[in-house]
Amino acid sequence: MVFSGVNYFTERDLAGKTLFTGVSETADLQESLELALRLHPSVKRIFVINDHGISGRKVKDEIERLTPLFHGRAQIEFEDNTDLKHILKDVETLPPDTLIFYTFFYGDRQPQRMKTVTAFP
């Protein structure tokens, strides 16, 4: 089996399996947050937009693990909503010293209605 784009995949995940290979996607979240704070030194709060899918949960776990490193520099807060309309409302109320850190948001829990278009009636 060959896989690609698996987030935060480790050698441990292959324990007991043979004939597997592929590419792991592992973002350097600590350096990304550090860079954001260097570029925006007035930031006091980081608002993380993240979905609840498998990759989103892994990224959230990693950011939560890093949170103590930013103590006293910026408060890290996670958006808990998975409804796009609510997220947009929450973003509108953020103070100016807040940085939005967008990670994963691939779905909205509210299904969107799509208009069916018939190409050939």
Q: Which residue has the higher pLDDT, 37 or 5?
A: 37
CA distances from 89 to 8, 65, 78 (A): 31, 28, 14
What pLDDT is recorded for position 77?
94
What pLDDT is recorded for position 5?
76
Return d(Cα 95, Cα 44) in angstroms, integer. Answer: 10
Return d(Cα 57, Cα 52) in angstroms, integer. Answer: 6
Instruction: List, for residues 37-96, the tens digit of each pLDDT value.
Output: 999 999 999 999 988 887 788 889 999 999 999 999 999 999 877 788 888 899 999 999
Q: Given CA atoms 61, 108, 25, 39 in this order, what sign does their dihedral have?
A: negative
What pLDDT is recorded for position 13?
82
Return d(Cα 68, Cα 45) in angstroms, integer. Answer: 14
Kindly tell me if the per-residue pLDDT of 119 is higher than 60: no
